[in-house]
Amino acid sequence: MAKMKAAVFVEPGRIVLDEKPIPEVGALDALVRITTTTICGTDVHILKGEYPVAPGLTVGHEPVGIIEKLGSAVTGYHEGQRVIAGAISPSGHSNACLAGFHSQDGPDARHGWKSIGGWKLGNTIDGCQAEYVLVPDAMANLAPVPDGLTDEQVLMCPDIMSTGFGGAERGGVRIGDTVAVFAQGPIGLCAAAGAKLAGATLVIGVDRLPARLQTAKALGIDAVVDAGTVDPVDEILRLTDGRGVDVAIEALGSQATFEACLRVLRPGGTLSSLGVYSADINVPLDAFAAGLGDLSIVTTLCPGGKERMRRLINVLAAGRVDLRPMVTHRYKLDDIEAAYELFAHQRDGVLKVAITP
Amino acid sequence: MAKMKAAVFVEPGRIVLDEKPIPEVGALDALVRITTTTICGTDVHILKGEYPVAPGLTVGHEPVGIIEKLGSAVTGYHEGQRVIAGAISPSGHSNACLAGFHSQDGPDARHGWKSIGGWKLGNTIDGCQAEYVLVPDAMANLAPVPDGLTDEQVLMCPDIMSTGFGGAERGGVRIGDTVAVFAQGPIGLCAAAGAKLAGATLVIGVDRLPARLQTAKALGIDAVVDAGTVDPVDEILRLTDGRGVDVAIEALGSQATFEACLRVLRPGGTLSSLGVYSADINVPLDAFAAGLGDLSIVTTLCPGGKERMRRLINVLAAGRVDLRPMVTHRYKLDDIEAAYELFAHQRDGVLKVAITP
Amino acid sequence: MAKMKAAVFVEPGRIVLDEKPIPEVGALDALVRITTTTICGTDVHILKGEYPVAPGLTVGHEPVGIIEKLGSAVTGYHEGQRVIAGAISPSGHSNACLAGFHSQDGPDARHGWKSIGGWKLGNTIDGCQAEYVLVPDAMANLAPVPDGLTDEQVLMCPDIMSTGFGGAERGGVRIGDTVAVFAQGPIGLCAAAGAKLAGATLVIGVDRLPARLQTAKALGIDAVVDAGTVDPVDEILRLTDGRGVDVAIEALGSQATFEACLRVLRPGGTLSSLGVYSADINVPLDAFAAGLGDLSIVTTLCPGGKERMRRLINVLAAGRVDLRPMVTHRYKLDDIEAAYELFAHQRDGVLKVAITP
Amino acid sequence: MAKMKAAVFVEPGRIVLDEKPIPEVGALDALVRITTTTICGTDVHILKGEYPVAPGLTVGHEPVGIIEKLGSAVTGYHEGQRVIAGAISPSGHSNACLAGFHSQDGPDARHGWKSIGGWKLGNTIDGCQAEYVLVPDAMANLAPVPDGLTDEQVLMCPDIMSTGFGGAERGGVRIGDTVAVFAQGPIGLCAAAGAKLAGATLVIGVDRLPARLQTAKALGIDAVVDAGTVDPVDEILRLTDGRGVDVAIEALGSQATFEACLRVLRPGGTLSSLGVYSADINVPLDAFAAGLGDLSIVTTLCPGGKERMRRLINVLAAGRVDLRPMVTHRYKLDDIEAAYELFAHQRDGVLKVAITP
């Protein structure tokens, strides 16, 4: 049985490069040879043991590659085709999918983590920080990549672009809106780009890291607020003449940012939450307007599936956004442990790391 | 200057029947002679000092009556016409109204209570537990009552029917949904009726008071859960084969019910909150699916305005629901202090009290 | 190779009972032994040659039956299980499905009939007026039937109940709406039932056949208009005090009904079209308000897939509607030619015919 | 009684500059001294007698000016304030407004032209091609103009920008969509700009006038199709790989463009119609997919009201679009007859004409 290299979770604190068999291809699967992948903040949660996965699991959920082999029941693709797949890989045929909740695919019952059945790669099945990955339900998930786009150009589609744009979309951002985005890491930057793309006329990015605020400006965000030097709630109310924002996007997963989002909303506004939280949230009575503010709070797990990828690729192909500046570092798969070391500690202004086997 | 009787807030713990001048009619106002009104749970918050209003304010926001006098700029009505007005009285012409947030009428700036600018009667201006009430922006707020409906039939339109139905509507209840409603007081009963009317095929009412669960059954709710004898989360998951509900409606304003609503939601489900909270809410990490459950939380302040009232009256006129069983007690305005005494202590199985001057 | 009986389209004017091989089961298919099926108006279009299908095709798209055999890649079901499948059988994994247009599954290109790629059974592949039917993409399409419901109770789910309810849903019917439904055949009756279930407070059914208007009344429609004796537009405007309806549902597919729908709409109203048209439609300038009426026209092809079926079954199981009165006649599969004879000529007050192999 | 100059409709073929009394200010009105206005295509319909108005009416519905006098019941503004008002002037307090159909304000009954009750200026009451105009329901309609924007920058807000953007909004354009806009006159150009602003990644403009296609390119439209040299349906299907467009916007009001819009839609696509039609429309059976294509057709009358104006002004102030290139000619009010002569004959590449009293 042929072997491949893969980044494997061993125990909290240890993800190591190991050898594993190249997986067998089931009827609905596709085996994809990875050409580029990356590390996500969630992978760091896995590394630290904050998000539990099975020891021995291959990590990674952002694949760009070439179809190596198709399952016997898979039609509509050919081997050698260049593709991406979303971080979330819906089957398309579950009740959740057919009801439109593709990220919540899987068993209908829900408790705690089981709710996110649509996230499989690098979570419940082997992921793509490896030479090969098995993409389940290939017909629902593989999206061809046009020749004109490089691997690095589409590398953000599987997760952070889909998640970030999803935050703007679920927030209902529309022409003329004012939007605040709390945290300007990769997800927040994509959320801000998505909000602008959807017609927001004032997009305000908030962070404490000057480098990230600078990147935000470079990506065309209208205004930035340094939460390390001013109170962001006060500053946003000032920037909006006391009116508050139509949509506030939470892109960190912390109490402070969640609460600040609520406090900057106009009456009837929407808090669109993208963060992965690691503790209970306190909702202050006044920030919640005692339940009388006609407020909405929506959460979004990264939309996946090939149609989603197709649309995001369209956005890139049309040049509407350019996310290449987000790839700040490049590593070989052989050096992925070093890449984790850099990324987990947010060293050297890292935003995203391209990994090539 | 002619005088009238009115229930006036004096200080925390004291609402008394007093005499006040019959108000002057401004250009956009209508003076309505009250024929029937009622006491709301929010009025009890005012009585207890939990919701602050100015001493001397006439309380009450659920008016049924006869137009006594129209402002000079008011057209489309005639004196002697029988009307209701919503608890919330939007102007129609504010930016909030024109943007569709009629309950959030008023100054654009928002902090704390100021957000609910649309609630004027018995809050920022004199209310209708009186012989007369001045309805502001009359052209946006007065809805004629058809002869075929009694005062008591339409008495629930201004607040609890509008609020309760609003909970089902904002929750997006649709044909085939499963809906849980936590608390079966007047608002919760109306929310359950609204959910059923909107097509829910399994509506589950939760309360601790056997009398309320009995009323819920009488109003046609599909299943009731006595939270005093079973764990409502377990029971609702059992009733839904572990699937959870599409929409959970919070109709009390407490930590326990808010949290239970989250816990019974299916992935992608919606918590529709109607309660008036009096303390911070804790959102447990697991109930919130760490932000990854594609959940929505929406809050609704009672929709008002004459078009809303027209539609609710239609529902009653068509016999789709009959809320008369909710009027459990009747008092003269002269005895309103006794009515408060009964209602504030929830004595004698009281649901709603009809007050007639 | 084992044989089975099947109703086969031979040429315009001839659908005959014939023998065909029991089909081979592909990896994603399920072979279902039919226990009950029915004839649809569209089948009559096929019979008459108005809707072209390939000679030799087995007709029928409304299956109730027992799983006989599952494809090798199908999981989540067992042989012997009682199921239905929708008339439209989406794969779940096409771009159209992933975008939420499950009825428009199939190749992305669209011209003329090719647009309705989701309708496969009895259209592009063999249908279910036979002893067995092969259901494609079984995991997306098979919905278990609870023991408490008979075949005839769920027989309307696959097509007319899904289509009719779809008309109300796509029309956006909500609590307090007034809805007119033009034509009270099986689809129109279901549309009217759906509109009422979604909260409409005045549902007006229009037809020329007194028997159908009587059935409409029996099903609880609020008002009926006999288009053979009065002008339905005038009458509906009279019934709505000149206001017009919020939603008008077209359930026939003719110029007269389409145009009348437009004429009874209030400004900003929605025409929800369910009919299968056989000629161009003329949109009169005044009925269209010259393009200035904020009107919407939406068309709906029967929603399919197992989640849709699950929800419709819920509605029946909850007793919210009872469509059994629609089954007016019963035939053995052996006598299906006689059933077509009756149904095509609308003899004997026929609404729907149950066919049992 | 003081007099003012005004462009008055006399009879079909004649709009002349005349003298009229400066109007009396009612309680809810504002008298605005016009500083800039323009001529709309609809005004040309009035001139030609194609759209009937009362002889003696002052024409024009796109006002930019200074508040001269406020009605006695108007608050929230001051005399001397620079404002615009929308072409459509909703009261805010009618049932239509309260239901969200601000353009369909007015009497509930609807037949033919009566449906567009929200269009008052230069239609049912005197318009703004004059030295002064009376804006009804001033509190719902007057939007302050920030100092940083010139009259010509905001001149498109009252009608063509609001209408054009409305076409993109009602069409539901979202990130990644492909949109075709038929006709690239002022409305079509604004619709294309709106589609792009809302996130469309491929916006295709269609026209027969090379000058307009050139303007479209200058405004950043992705692709233009010259309907005078190629078949636009073929060309758009070619540009979309046979897939069709998500949204097709009709911006002319003709049979050819309406029909072409239908033919380029993908299954489930939306035709968003902005045109003012002057004849019946024929909907070809195949273009309509026989009613089975899950298509939507929506029409939009220019959204008005001060909140709409506020949002459009935001778009301009943020520099998201620059519509100044649309003002191709400038005339004094004294020369408005010459301006009509030029505009009605579409001479000299005219797009919009600025008129200054």
* CATH code, domain carrying D20: 3.90.180.10
Across the interface, whether the CB atoms of A28 and C95 are under 8 A apart is answered no
Residue B105 CA from chain centroid, whole number: 17
* Residue C315 belongs to some domain of the structure: no
Rounded Cα–Cα distance for residues B136 and B142 (Å)? 9
Predicted local confidence at residue D116, as pLDDT: 60
Answer yes or no: are the C-beta atoms of C181 and C249 closer than 8 Å. yes
Q: Is residue C91 less than 8 Å (CB to CB) from chain A?
A: yes
Low-confidence ranges of chain C (pLDDT < 50): 108-114
Q: Is residue C28 less than 8 Å (CB to CB) from chain A?
A: yes
Minimal Cβ distance to D222: which of A199, A222, A318: A318
Mean pLDDT of A318-331: 95
Mean pLDDT of A88-92: 95
Convert the pLDDT of each residue in B211-238 to its tens digit.
999 999 999 999 999 999 999 999 999 9
DSSP string for residues in B152-204: HHHTTIIIIIHHHHHHHHHTT--TT-EEEEE--SHHHHHHHHHHHHTT-SEEE
Neighbors of chain B with 3 or more C-beta pairs under 8 Å: A, C, D
Residues of chain D positioned with their CB less than 8 A from the CB of C112: 286, 289
Residues A232 and A209 in one domain: yes
Identify the burial level of C197 via C-beta atoms within 10 angstroms of its C-beta, where 0-12 means exposed, 13-18 middle and 19 or more buried: buried
Predicted local confidence at residue D110, as pLDDT: 37
Answer yes or no: are the C-beta atoms of B297 and A297 closer than 8 Å. yes
Find the CATH number of the domain harbouring D278: 3.40.50.720
D248 contacts: CB under 8 Å, gap ≥ 6: D171, D179, D180, D181, D182, D260, D261, D262, D264, D265, D269, D270, D271, D272
Convert the pLDDT of each residue in A252-271 to its tens digit.
999 999 999 999 999 999 99
Q: Which of residues 269-288 of A touch B (CB under 8 A)?
A: 273-286, 288
Answer yes or no: are the C-beta atoms of C340 and C347 closer than 8 Å. no
Q: What is the dihedral of CA D106, D111, D113, D117, to 10 degrees?
A: 10
B209: left (phi over 0), alpha (psi -120 to 50) or beta: beta
| Nearest residue of chain B to residue C162 (CA atoms) | B175
* Residue A91 belongs to some domain of the structure: no
Residues in chain D: 357
Across the interface, whether the CB atoms of D293 and C244 are under 8 A apart is answered no
pLDDT at D336 over 60: yes
Residue D6: which H helix or E strand, with range?
strand D3-11
Q: Say if pTM beats, i.e. exceeds, 0.90.
A: yes
* Residue A131 belongs to some domain of the structure: yes
- Give the up-direction half-sphere exposure of residue C65: CA atoms within 13 A in the CB hemisphere: 30
* Residue D100 belongs to some domain of the structure: no
- Give the up-direction half-sphere exposure of residue C2: CA atoms within 13 A in the CB hemisphere: 6
pLDDT at D113 over 50: no
* Residue B317 belongs to some domain of the structure: no
Residues D243 and D219 in one domain: yes
* Residue C95 belongs to some domain of the structure: no
Nearest residue to B294 via CA among A99, A299, A160: A299
What are C126's two structure tokens? 């063999």
B163, B227, B353, C153 from B211: Cα distances, Å: 22, 13, 16, 36
Convert the pLDDT of each residue in D206-226 to its tens digit.
999 999 999 999 989 999 999
Contacts within 8 Å (CB) and 24+ apart, A18-26: A20/A58, A20/A126, A20/A130, A22/A131, A22/A132, A23/A126, A23/A132, A23/A134, A25/A69, A25/A70, A25/A71, A25/A134, A26/A71, A26/A134, A26/A136, A26/C73
Q: Is residue D246 less than 8 Å (CB to CB) from chain A?
A: no
Convert the pLDDT of each residue in B13-30 to its tens digit.
999 999 999 999 999 999
Residues A140 and A225 in one domain: no
Minimal Cβ distance to C199: which of B178, B199, B317: B199
Residues D131 and D253 in one domain: no
Predicted local confidence at residue A107, as pLDDT: 54
Q: Is residue C96 less than 8 Å (CB to CB) from chain D?
A: yes
Predicted confidence band at A116 (pLDDT cuts at 50, 70, 90)?
low
Residues of chain B positioned with their CB less than 8 A from the CB of D73: 26-28, 73
Predicted local confidence at residue C51, as pLDDT: 87
Predicted confidence band at B295 (pLDDT cuts at 50, 70, 90)?
very high
Residues A151 and A219 in one domain: no
Residues A7 and A152 in one domain: yes
Rounded Cα–Cα distance for residues A68 and A78 (Å)? 9
Residues of chain D positioned with their CB less than 8 A from the CB of B72: 27
* Helix, coil or strand: residue A194: helix
Minimal Cβ distance to D201: which of A168, A194, A315: A315
Convert the pLDDT of each residue in B61-74 to its tens digit.
999 999 999 999 99
Prediction ipTM score? 0.96
Rounded Cα–Cα distance for residues C173 and C179 (Å)? 8
Nearest residue to D176 via CA among A309, A192, A88: A309
Residues C171 and C36 in one domain: no
Convert the pLDDT of each residue in B37-51 to its tens digit.
999 999 999 999 988
Q: Is residue B175 less than 8 Å (CB to CB) from chain A?
A: no
Residues D189 and D238 in one domain: yes
Rounded Cα–Cα distance for residues D246 and B102 (Å)? 33
**Domain span holding position D241:** 161-299
pLDDT at D260 over 90: yes
- Across the B:C interface, residue pairs with CB atoms under 8 Å apart total 56
B262 contacts: CB under 8 Å, gap ≥ 6: B248, B271, B283, B284, B287, B288, B295, B297
Neighbors of chain D with 3 or more C-beta pairs under 8 Å: A, B, C
User: Quick count: other Cβ atoms within 10 Å of Cβ B20?
Assistant: 17
Q: Is residue A175 less than 8 Å (CB to CB) from chain B?
A: no
Q: Is residue C174 less than 8 Å (CB to CB) from chain B?
A: yes
Across the interface, whether the CB atoms of C93 and A95 are under 8 A apart is answered no
Q: CA of C99, closest CA in chain A: separation in Å?
A: 7
Number of domains within chain B = 2
pLDDT at A109 over 70: no
Across the interface, whether the CB atoms of B311 and C176 are under 8 A apart is answered yes
Q: CA of B27, closest CA in chain A: separation in Å?
A: 28
Predicted local confidence at residue C46, as pLDDT: 95
Residues A135 and A239 in one domain: no
Q: CA of C6, closest CA in chain B: separation in Å?
A: 34
Predicted local confidence at residue D107, as pLDDT: 53
What are B337's two structure tokens? 């202090």
Predicted local confidence at residue C107, as pLDDT: 54
Residues C130 and C172 in one domain: no
* Residue C116 belongs to some domain of the structure: no
pLDDT at A114 over 60: no
Minimal Cβ distance to B314: which of C169, C201, C317: C201
- Look at the block and give the residue holding tokens 């303007």: D215
Across the interface, whether the CB atoms of A306 and C98 are under 8 A apart is answered yes
C333 contacts: CB under 8 Å, gap ≥ 6: C5, C7, C17, C34, C129, C130, C131, C355, C356, C357
Across the interface, whether the CB atoms of C308 and A98 are under 8 A apart is answered yes
Average confidence score pLDDT of chain B:
94
Predicted local confidence at residue D118, as pLDDT: 84
Residues A274 and A199 in one domain: yes
* Helix, coil or strand: residue A111: coil
Rounded Cα–Cα distance for residues C85 and C310 (Å)? 10
Predicted local confidence at residue A50, as pLDDT: 87
Neighbors of chain A with 3 or more C-beta pairs under 8 Å: B, C, D
Mean pLDDT of D330-352: 96
* Residue C10 belongs to some domain of the structure: yes
C345 contacts: CB under 8 Å, gap ≥ 6: none
Residues C171 and C280 in one domain: yes
